[in-house]
Chain A
Amino acid sequence: MNKPILIMARRALLITFVALFCLPAECSAMAENGKSFSQMADMEISGIITSKDDGSPLPGASVIVKGGANNGTTTDGEGRFKLTVAENSTLIISFIGYLSQETQVGGKSVINIALVADSRILSEVVVTALGVTREKKSLGYAIQELKGSELVKSNEQNVLNSLSGKVAGVQITAGSGAIGSGSRIVLRGNNSFGNNQPLFVVDGVPVSNFSTNTTSGGGVDYGNAIAEIDPNNIASMSVLKGANAAALYGYQAANGVILITTKNGKGAGKGTSISYSGGFSYEKPYILPKYQNQYGQGVYGEEYMWKKKNDGSTYQDYATSTGFSYLDGLGNGINDGVDESWGPRLDAGLLIPQYNSPLDANGNRTATPWESHPNNVKDFFQTGYTIDNSVAVSSSSDNGDTRLSFGQQKQIGTIPNTDQKRYTIQLNTTQNLTKRLKTNALVNYVRTANDNLVGQGYHANNPMQSIGGWFGRQVDMKDLKEHYNDTFADGMPYNWNNNFHDNPYFNVNNNTHSRYKDRVFGNVSATYQFHEWFSAMARIGTDWSAEQRKEITHNKSNETLTSMADKTWGGGKFTESKYNINEINADLILTGHGNISKDLTLSYTAGANYRNYSYNYSSLGASQLTVPDLFNIRNAKGSPTTDMTTNKLRTNSVYGQASLGYKDYLYLDITARNDWSSTLPKGNWSYFYPSASLSWVFTNVIPVNPDILSFGKLRASWASVGNGGSPYQLQSSYIANATAFDGVTLYSISSTLPPLNLKPEKAKSTEVGVELQFLNRRIGLDATYYNKITTNQIMQVNISGASGYSTMQLNAGEIQNKGIELQLNAGIIRNPGGFNWDINFNWAKNKSMVNKLYEDPTTGQKLEAYTITSVWGLTVDAVPGQAYGVMRGASFARDASTGAIIIGNNGLPTYNSTPTAVGNVMPDWVGGVTNNFTYKNFNFSFLLDMRKGGDVFSVTQWFGMQSGVTAPTVEGGIRENGLIVGQDVLKDEKVTMADGSPNTIRVGARDYFQSLWGGRETAIVDGSFVKLRQIEFGYQLPSAFTLKYPWLKGAGISLFARNIALLYTSKSNVANIDPETGFGVGNDGLGIEQYQIPSNRSIGVKLNLKF
């Protein structure tokens, strides 16, 4: 063996710290200066070509002399050029993705030009797997990149939400209007019943998107970890949608990858610069359910019921004797314990004793006017705001570059007493130690602090559960606000109802869920370039976080009652939880590229990865406290509650990629990866999977008129990806109850049945696509068809409880996702230096099918369905032969031949309690349209985001009808006149009596609406929507100004609005919920809406300065 090579290799292997992330595509050499043919006086000019968007230099931009045939050059890695030209010549500066610009030399020796991005053309150089920058035309799979500048135009704090409507095939489900809520992102449909989240990779190293799932039943949504990345630090985001693009990332990437590249010191050009970005926005709820304001709290207080009773009593007498009369809010008055609005008519001159009526001499509530407060729910919310400040210092020289940034965000929620503060420090530094050795260190520190995050879902600490669902519509919210810490004479807290709920202000101010999280992530690497054909990088990355959450419930909260009858409380309760998560990734990556022959180029990557993941959780809590409201474990009354979990897993992998390019039109990529996962049984540790893709730029082969078809490419790929699942799934185990019974630990068999011989999950995917650009690239089309089959899924599914288990860890089944993605860009009006109008359109349709289920090898018994999630007896299932996400639940009993709803002898609909299909959670398609207008230094854009289909089971709608708070419960005079099912309600349905005769039975509105408990159909909302997602109006300081004042390198200001309007929602959305809803990041909230915190509209201003 060649000795020096070995020494060099050893050196490369030894370097495991500090390093640089080499971007091979940037290694392209400076083009040679062209030779001048000018006859005029020649002069040497130089300059820097930058992007007008963010002032970053543009390497590889072309600078040519107009009419000068061969005179021209391209810019270097820092965007600089030198050229010898005639004094009076004209330069044409062009760069892919930017509008070409002409400028007169006019004797100037320094010419700096800022190019305007051409939004018609998608960025042509993209970051691909392992951080390799590639020309997009060489890729045989779909990839879509977003520039950092697109992410920071508004104050959106969860970077995922910024993707909404911008990338074809990406479905973002924003959590809710609650601060800190997680967002669910799914690329190309749901592949699995378990994890459907893509892998997130920041600067080449996978990072955590940890979230604690809020269950379908509700809880506090602490968000997803990827939201901790400050959008101000993001240079670009690449969305690798399919297994094809992501194959190199292996087992973690079965659901696609989102690659985030952060900004570095090079971006700001040579020398030192400071940039500042600041934003301010305010937020208000923009979609609130529609409530009724005609009847208040109580039962059977409808005018119809009074008329029906017809005993000669006045409506006033009837109202207080039957409908509602307050005594103690515990049920001792007339229906004063109920949290329904089926009571007496409001604003009808009635006088009724209420919780806030003055007391008479005997201590009884006097009767006071029974009046509506139409804005009471709206009044509960406050105006929230977001402040975002980010300062970055960048420096770049021949020896390296450094960027140090500090970010600070503060958010105040629309729910009172909710907030979030986040501080981010990022350091990205590259040093060229020698000509061949580069080191790079990238460190991020993020601190997230929440004094309180609101409870969500069907949860006592979600104020919407009471005021938005189970409520007395007459209640004055302002009165509750003024007195939330007061008590009544009998000792009960001051509230409109003491039977079920806390005062909503007591709730948000006293029952808090705080969180403090410190996170450090980043990597260090060293790269040694031995040769063009051989460069080695060693890199070690970590993602470490420590998080503490404390959930406290104050004494006298309803939950702390120890005897409602005796009015005693347990002093309050609390749980404090700690999460420590650490992931280490160590990689050794070898790369090289060059020409094999004149027409054939090769680049390769070979690497090895070591990944170690550990998760530690512990918690302490007390269900009662000795000294009230002292939330310390030593103050616990009775046994403290404790818990502890540790998870560890390791994988080792080797992988390789080879890319062959023939001339400038045919490209072949081959990848292979082998993983060894500790989570699998011994014989199955190792698993291998390959991928291949082909790209053919046919317009470079077949002669076509470039004015008509400027660019055309066909691509095809095939990939296989494996997944090793979660730890500790190989054996059944015994689980101890969280608390010992009088010192005796209670052990039971895990309710999850383990799989027998766990095999790795496999996803196989094929993809074909076409990219076309017409009319000198004014119109661009990118279309993809994919077909992905996931087999041997490792997932937890519900099984018949009669098996002795509740769930089964499955290792079988087959889900298929087929879909089409379209992106269309059109430059409608093109006038460089004048008015421009561009449209970007994206659209995706995905169809998930469940092909196969599990069949037990010994008994032959087959699973009939998987239940993905369930709530209130409504299940979201996967049934073989049907689409993923069938919603099943009790439904109206219908006549088998006519489909008419059968009405019982009491005039009410009858129900089938055995579940039937009532909807499907998967949308038919999702899409988005961006319109962008520019005029000189002004730009204006707006984004429409839309979805067709995708049913939602809305608990707000379902219970809102049963509790009589929503608008449909009063429409058409039904509380005054009663109703006939089929005539006054369920008008679109056929109804029949059991004997076939028509229904003529008049019933009270409460009786009808409460009967809806029996079925789920009336709560299924078609999730179609069209939303005006974003409007942005910006102004960039002209370069003339910055040239005049060189200390100012750039300045821009933009006004923006996000979530402006819900332009379309389905007729089935009678409660007017936000159809785009979700709980947390996992599958539990799929298709379920439970008292969502209303989504917010955000309006603000953003300022960007560069010095």
Chain B
Amino acid sequence: MKNIKSYLLIILLLVFTGQACTSDFEEINTNPNSPVEAPITNVLGYVLQDFSANYFGPLGDMSEPSSYSGQLGKLQYIDDAKYVFTSTNINTLWTVVYRDLKNAQAIIDQADKTGSTNMKAVGLTMQAYILQVATDRWRDIPFTEAFKGDAGYITPKYDTQETIYPAIITQLKTAADLFAAGGTDVLGEGDLLYGGDVKKWQKFCNSLRLRVAIRISNVSPATAKPVIEEIASSATTYPVLASNDDNALLNWPGSSPYIEPWNSNFMTRDDHGPSNTLINTLKELGDPRLAVYAKPAPSDGEYRGVEVGPPTSPIISLYSRIGVKFREDATGFSPFLRYSEVLFIMAEAAQKGWNVGGSTAETLYKAAITASLNENGITDAAVISTYLAGPGVKWDNTTNKLYTQKWLSLFKNGQEAWAESRRTDVPLLAAATGSPFTGHTRPPFRYPYPPTETTLNSTNSATFIAEITDNFWGKKMWWDTRTGVN
């Protein structure tokens, strides 16, 4: 038995040895691949790139919003133009929105901690931008409990668009005031939009405030009017984009994987073309942008737009393709917000009789069209004045021309063009004739919720999903004041 005692001692020794060997556990379990903190400028770069790649790409823009807005049709693979959707794409777009909102929040929080005023204002601006895109697409979405998974909100509740819009307005005002107060911090290498030019970010922020305000100008003029008038009356505190040089365009490096998304799609596919609505409108107006927006049909050299969502696939050689500037440049751009849009918003406000600082609606309208033409390389004053005097363009104090021109200027920003066509009902669009959902008089009012919200957040999403008809219709956007449409 003596021996056995000794052996037991050895066993105990082993136990002791085992325990003693945890000294370098913490070091072993320190992640050598990824940091716990990253420079926020690089996070800003991520948000800008990620959002652009998805929301200005074939998936988030070309195939769906740009066709719902009547600007692009599909030549091949026409399903999405007929509202036959791929549910996984919806999951992706939903996830992208929220991860970008979350990363923008990280920028805001980190900037707050370090007192980086400029960076905080940039973070608030980007977050508001993305939030508006999301609510304009899905209407009611998780917001107050959203992107707070790390605080335990794993099934966030939904908020209505009626509450989200005022929150966006407030957030942008905060950002605008931070810019106005001025900070000393630099934005760094991750500012892919303006290369660190804080002044331009300030203009972008205030211009975005105009976009948000004008969207709700019909449904809630009491909220919208003071925003626009405040900006119009204090150009130094709240400057807006003042020329095409100020345009918020993300320019792509042009090498894989950072190729301009429309071009990236064009490399391997030939699926999209300008719609018949777009081509016909440009033709009717004698618009010099026709040759910029479109290429003639290969078969006969005619500019011919394809129907959006016909029952059968078209013979593709008969139809125009998208212009070189927009789709055939790997180093092309993703347009967040352009100078012409600012002028169109001011023109609309002026026409409503709101105080925009003295300019008339007509002046602003003409300036807006000119800005858009200039942006598209049309700078010949004679060409421009001829165009402005044309019967379809000449200012007649109706919203129809204003809205048509704005719609034309928004080319390549499908998200915004779709929102404006829903708000204004201009141009007048019909639902795709090949749609399996019969009986609708307009293109989609909204976008389907992702299936993951049913499988993973069903309690909160159920009542909102129930308000949808045929995936794309049903309850309209808060700011969609159209009547008699379905």
Contact = CB atoms under 8 A, between A and B. Distances in A.
Contacts of B50: 746, 748
Interface string B324-335: 000010000000
Interface residues of A, number: 120
A862 B155 contact: yes
B75 A331 contact: yes
Interface string B94-106: 1101110111011
A645 B146 contact: no
A197 B483 CA distance: 59
Interface centre among B17, B36, B455 (most CB of A within 10 A): B455
Interface residues of B, number: 105
Contacts of A877: 455
A534 B7 contact: yes
Interface string A857-890: 1110111110100111101010000000000111
A306 to B, nearest CB: 14
Contacts of B430: none
Given A803-B156, A805-B102, A676 B95 contact: no
A678 interface: yes
B390 interface: no
Contacts of B97: 801
B459 A331 contact: no
A99 interface: no
A804 B471 contact: no
A1037 interface: no
Interface string B425-467: 0000000000010110000000010111111111100000100
B25 A741 contact: no
A897 interface: no
Interface in B79-130: 79, 84, 86-88, 91, 94-95, 97-99, 101-103, 105-106
A2 B9 CA distance: 12
Interface stretch (B59-67, B163-171, B264-272, B371-379): B264-272
Contacts of B457: 800, 802, 864
Interface string B38-53: 1100110111011000
B76 A608 contact: no
Given A564-B267, A649-B28, A744-B45, A801 B321 contact: no
Contacts of A857: 152
A588 interface: yes
Contact of A802 (B87, B141, B256, B316): B141
Contacts of A6: 6
A733 B31 contact: yes
A564 B39 contact: no
B452 A864 contact: no
B456 A739 contact: no
Contacts of A804: 98-99, 101-102, 105, 146-150
B313 A338 contact: yes
Contacts of B76: 331, 337-338, 499
Contacts of B75: 331
A1103 interface: no
A332 B316 contact: yes
A640 B469 CA distance: 47
A47 interface: no
Given A299-B312, A915-B455, A747 B21 contact: no
A485 B76 CA distance: 27
A859 B151 contact: yes
A998 B35 CA distance: 63
Contact of A744 (B3, B91, B146, B192): B192
Nearest to B87: A873
Contacts of A337: 76, 316
A936 interface: no
A734 B44 CA distance: 13
A876 to B, nearest CB: 10
A676 B150 contact: no
A685 interface: yes
Nearest to A1016: B87
Contact of A639 (B3, B95, B255, B267): B255
B106 A872 contact: no
Contacts of B39: 747
Contacts of A1011: 436
Nearest to A559: B268
Contacts of A865: 455-456
A362 interface: no
B10 interface: yes
B4 interface: yes
Nearest to A608: B14
Interface stretch (A227-235, A253-261, A824-832, A904-912): A904-912
Interface in A712-759: 727-728, 730-737, 739, 741-751, 753
Interface of B: 2-4, 6-7, 9-11, 14-15, 17-19, 21-22, 24-26, 28-39, 42-43, 45-47, 49-50, 75-76, 79, 84, 86-88, 91, 94-95, 97-99, 101-103, 105-106, 141-142, 146-156, 189-190, 192, 253, 255-258, 266-270, 298, 312-313, 315-317, 321, 328, 436, 438-439, 448, 450-459, 465, 471
